[in-house]
Amino acid sequence: MSGNQHTERRVRPQAPGRLKHYMTVVLVLLLLWGSAVQTESTLSELIEGLPNVLDLIRQMFPPKWSYVRHITDAMLDTIRMALLGTTIGAIAALPVAVLSASNLTRTRWIYMPVRFLLNLVRTIPDLLMAAIFVAIFGLGPLPGIFALAVFSFGLIAKLTYEALETIDRGPLEAMTAVGANYLQLIAYSVIPQIQAHFASYVLYTFEINVRAAAILGLVGAGGIGLYYEVTLGYLEYNKTSVIILFTLAIVLIIDYLSSKLREKLL
């Protein structure tokens, strides 16, 4: 064979050791096992519970379709909450995004703390935020809207400032040369460059917020979530299934429309 010469001359590399992979697998298994022991969850429990799950599903069907009438208002409320929360958050996010962008705010001791604050805001789970706002403002959609606004603010500001940092500097220079002040510079050379991205981020956040708003009711922050609790509490599973299916349909529709819109934007 002609290849013989080559094999003699070149030393074949040795396959890298697989020890690292094995160790990783062992480590992950240990972690899982440890977690299971600590939380006292066992596989047998899952198997024992299986008939209950089947029973629950059986009770959910057929769904009591007429229940839709009673929850339409709550569902609309959920969407309204998402809409308001997203809008408030988006408006607040814009100036903060500008402050966080290192190419627009040159001073390090301004944009670094602002970014830190944004990171902090984003670590708070929205359900926890809603619970806190319920404690402050009482039951109803208002605390839910606030919670969504804070969440949207954190997300949109983060995405927007990252987009801001990639904009073309040329138009900024041109506006400076024209004699524009800071706000005019932002309005004429920054906003036009990011408005499509911004709109896309707002829509994306709205999608997330509709899903989030659907469960905020669990902590008393308005919307459809309250009805999960009520129907589950009264063991009316055929109604719960209606809520689930209804929510699913709404979320799917909004996701579809929003992603179509976002495709058009960019």
Partner 1 sequence: MIELKNVSKTYANGTKGLNRISLSVDKGEFVVIVGLSGAGKSTLLRSINRLHDITEGEIIIDGSSITRASGKRLRRIRRDIGMIFQSFNLVKRTTVLRNVLAGRVGYHPTWRTILGLFPKPDQELAFQALERVNIVEKAYTRADELSGGQQQRVAIARVLAQEAKIILADEPVASLDPLTTKQVMDDLKRINQDLGITTIVNLHFIDPARQYATRIIGLRAGEVVFDGPVEDATDEKFSEIYGRPLRQDEMLEEHAI
Residue 117 φ/ψ, nearest 5 degrees: -60, -40
Q: Which is nearer to partner 1, 174 or 253 (CB)?
A: 174
265 binds partner 1, rule: CB under 8 A: no
The terminus-to-terminus CA distance of the chain in angstroms comes to: 57
Residue 264: CB minimum distance to partner 1, A? 14
Site for partner 1 (CB under 8 A): which residue of 71, 129, 175, 213? Answer: 175
Tokens in use for 136?
């402050």
Residues 178-207 that bind partner 1 (CB under 8 A): 178-181, 183-184, 187-189, 192-193, 195-196
Q: Provide the 3-class DSSP secondary structure of residue 86.
A: helix
Using alpha carbons, list the distances in angstroms from residue 261 to 158, 159, 166, 198, 219.
21, 18, 23, 13, 32
Residue 170: CB minimum distance to partner 1, A? 4
Candidate ranges 23-31, 91-99, 172-180, 239-247; the one touching partner 1 (CB under 8 A): 172-180
26 binds partner 1, rule: CB under 8 A: no
Residue 202: CB minimum distance to partner 1, A? 17
**How many residues in the shown chain lie near partner 1 by CB under 8 A?**
21
Find how far residue 167's CA is from the centre of its chain: 25
Three-state SS string across 150-203, please?
HHHHHHHHHHHHHHHCCCCCHHHHHHHHHCCCHHHHHHHHHHHHHHHHHHHHHH
Q: Which is nearer to partner 1, 40 or 168 (CB)?
A: 168
13 binds partner 1, rule: CB under 8 A: no
**CA gap 112, 81 in Å, rounded:** 32
95 binds partner 1, rule: CB under 8 A: no
173 binds partner 1, rule: CB under 8 A: yes
Q: Which is nearer to partner 1, 152 or 189 (CB)?
A: 189
Q: Which is nearer to partner 1, 27 or 265 (CB)?
A: 265
